[in-house]
Chain A
Amino acid sequence: AQSVTQPDIHITVSEGASLELRCNYSYGATPYLFWYVQSPGQGLQLLLKYFSGDTLVQGIKGFEAEFKRSQSSFNLRKPSVHWSDAAEYFCAVGAGGTSYGKLTFGQGTILTVHP
């Protein structure tokens, strides 16, 4: 069964600073990987996805993520954080085979941005 670990429950950065949110997954084959963002009381918005190919993927709002198979990681990065990026971020893994279509999410990382 697949699983996702987001080691950081809460991260605080200053506006304009760089950001990296960590995500480690467990899955026996090539995973489908996603990052979603959730503002308080809202649904999830897809930031970016990795299915195959180039391991560095670009998303919306200036975010990017790098898939590293050797480390089972899919970390999210942004070079310069804006106050509007404050939200909760979720990494998710999707599987094929008998679990086709099921997304498994991490616990989430809450991002606070200081002015």
Chain B
Amino acid sequence: DAGVTQSPTHLIKTRGQQVTLRCSPKSGHDTVSWYQQALGQGPQFIFQYYEEEERQRGNFPDRFSGHQFPNYSSELNVNALLLGDSALYLCASSLAGGFTEQYFGPGTRLTVT
């Protein structure tokens, strides 16, 4: 049973560029959440997708956007990258039927120079 997978593993971008991160949920899961984890901090909720729509959003600017596909996989897009966007980006999947635990992927390490 495949768990949550994310790609790429590492990414280096320059300020002002745009980046797309990808996530495939655990088999049977239909909800994807994205988190940003800065160095030495706990993860912070960016947003959650269910039925191809953004259901919840944290305190992140509009530069952060996402998408969910019919197969439940998801993308996180960040435009106009800032140095402060350097972080580990974690994807988590869960079931939307009730509040259930979220299973995390290994993350994508984004470095903005």
Contact = CB atoms under 8 A, between A and B. Distances in A.
B42 A90 contact: yes
Given A99-B56, A101-B94, A43 B101 contact: no
A90 B4 CA distance: 19
Contacts of B72: none
Greatest chain B CB density within 10 A among A36, A92, A100, A101 is at: A101
B74 interface: no
A74 to B, nearest CB: 14
Give the interface size bracket for B toward A: 20 to 34
Contacts of A94: 99
A28 to B, nearest CB: 16
Interface stretch (A13-21, A44-52, A61-69, A77-85): A44-52
Interface of B: 4, 31, 33, 35, 41-45, 48, 50, 55-56, 58, 90, 92, 94, 96, 99, 101-107, 109
